[in-house]
Amino acid sequence: FNITDGAPTRAACLHRRRRRYQRHFSAMHFLNWITSRTRLCEYFVSAAGKETFGPASA
């Protein structure tokens, strides 16, 4: 088998992705994305918690 077979395409993909990130990336956008993700996560967890441990089980 050939180890270097998938390397060029992967490198090109990484390069393309990195260039796109450099164009669109900003620290505030990254922080907003992370906080929105965590908020969404907390919302889903609390919603699931209410469904599981809410009035139905009480």
Token duo for residue 15 = 């390069």
Q: Where are the domains of the chain?
A: 3-53
Task: Indicate if the pLDDT at residue 15 is higher than 80.
Answer: no
pTM score, two decimals?
Answer: 0.33
DSSP code of residue 3: G
Model pLDDT, residue 7: 63
pLDDT at 3 over 50: yes
Q: What DSSP character marks residue 5?
A: G
- Which of 50, 28, 32, 52 minimizes the C-alpha distance to 40? 32
pLDDT of residue 58: 46
Q: Looking at the predicted structure, is the pLDDT value of residue 53 above 80?
A: no
At 26, list the tokens: 């900003």
d(CA 35, CA 28): 10
